C-alpha cells in the first residue's frame, strides 16, 4: 500500500539538480509550491495532519485567521515545508519532527490560541496587556555603538 505524503515526493533528485551557475551569476531560488500560508494550510497541512478535534483533547477555530499566533505558526510551517521539501533524504522527517508536530501540538492544544473557540464559532482571544518597564531598563541596542 502506498500512502500519499503530499508534495514532498516532488523534491528533485540529486541527479536532476541544475548545473552550477557560472561565476558571478546568482542561482534563482526554487519556485514555491504554494503561494500563501492559507493555500498551504488547505492543500497540504490539514489533509496530511489529520487529528480528531473534539474540543476537549484538541481545539481548532474555523476562523483561524483571526488569531495572530495561528497565522505566525502556519506561516512558519509553510516556509519550513517549502525549504525542507527540497531535501529528498530526510526533509519530510525533519519537517514533521521539528516543525509540524511542534506547532500543531501548540495550535491544537485546548489551552492554545483557540482556547475560547469551537468548530462552530470564533471568539476573540484575550490579549496580554503588559505594562511598560521603567525607562532605561531595556535600552535600544540599535543605538549602542559596537
pLDDT in tens, the chain (146 residues): 444 555 654 545 444 445 555 666 788 889 999 999 999 999 999 999 999 888 889 999 999 999 999 999 999 999 999 999 999 999 999 999 999 999 999 999 999 999 999 778 888 877 778 889 999 898 888 998 88
Tell me the C-alpha distance between 96 and 109, whole Å: 17
The number of folded domains in the chain is 1
Q: Determine, yes or no, domain membership for 143.
A: no
Q: Determine, yes or no, domain membership for 17.
A: no
Q: Determine, yes or no, domain membership for 145.
A: no
Q: Determine, yes or no, domain membership for 40.
A: no
Q: What value does the CA radius of gyration of the chain take, rounded to a whole number of Å? A: 20
91: domain range? 65-124
Place of cell 490560541: 113
SS3 67: coil
Question: What pLDDT does residue 14 have?
Answer: 46
Q: What is the pTM of this model?
A: 0.74
Q: Determine, yes or no, domain membership for 90.
A: yes
Q: Determine, yes or no, domain membership for 100.
A: yes
Q: Are 69 and 113 in contact (CB under 8 A)?
A: yes
Q: Determine, yes or no, domain membership for 120.
A: yes
Closest of 61, 60, 62, 97 to residue 77, by C-alpha = 97
Question: What pLDDT does residue 4 have?
Answer: 52
Question: What pLDDT does residue 61 have?
Answer: 94
Q: Determine, yes or no, domain membership for 54.
A: no
Question: What's the distance, Cα to Cα, between the start and end of the chain in Å?
Answer: 60
Amino acid at each position: 500500500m502506498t500512502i500519499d505524503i503530499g508534495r514532498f515526493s516532488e523534491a528533485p533528485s540529486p541527479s536532476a539538480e541544475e548545473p552550477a551557475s557560472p561565476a558571478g551569476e546568482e542561482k534563482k531560488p526554487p519556485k514555491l509550491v504554494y503561494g500563501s500560508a492559507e493555500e498551504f494550510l488547505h492543500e497540504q497541512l490539514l489533509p496530511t495532519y489529520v487529528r480528531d478535534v473534539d474540543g476537549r483533547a484538541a481545539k481548532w477555530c474555523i476562523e483561524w485567521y483571526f488569531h495572530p499566533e495561528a497565522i505566525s505558526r502556519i506561516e512558519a510551517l509553510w516556509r519550513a515545508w517549502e525549504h525542507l521539501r527540497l531535501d529528498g533524504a530526510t526533509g519530510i522527517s525533519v519537517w514533521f519532527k521539528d516543525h509540524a508536530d511542534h506547532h500543531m501540538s501548540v495550535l491544537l492544544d485546548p489551552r492554545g490560541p483557540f482556547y475560547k473557540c469551537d468548530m462552530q464559532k470564533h471568539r476573540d482571544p484575550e490579549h496580554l496587556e503588559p505594562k511598560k518597564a521603567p525607562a532605561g531598563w531595556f535600552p535600544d541596542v540599535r543605538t549602542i555603538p559596537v
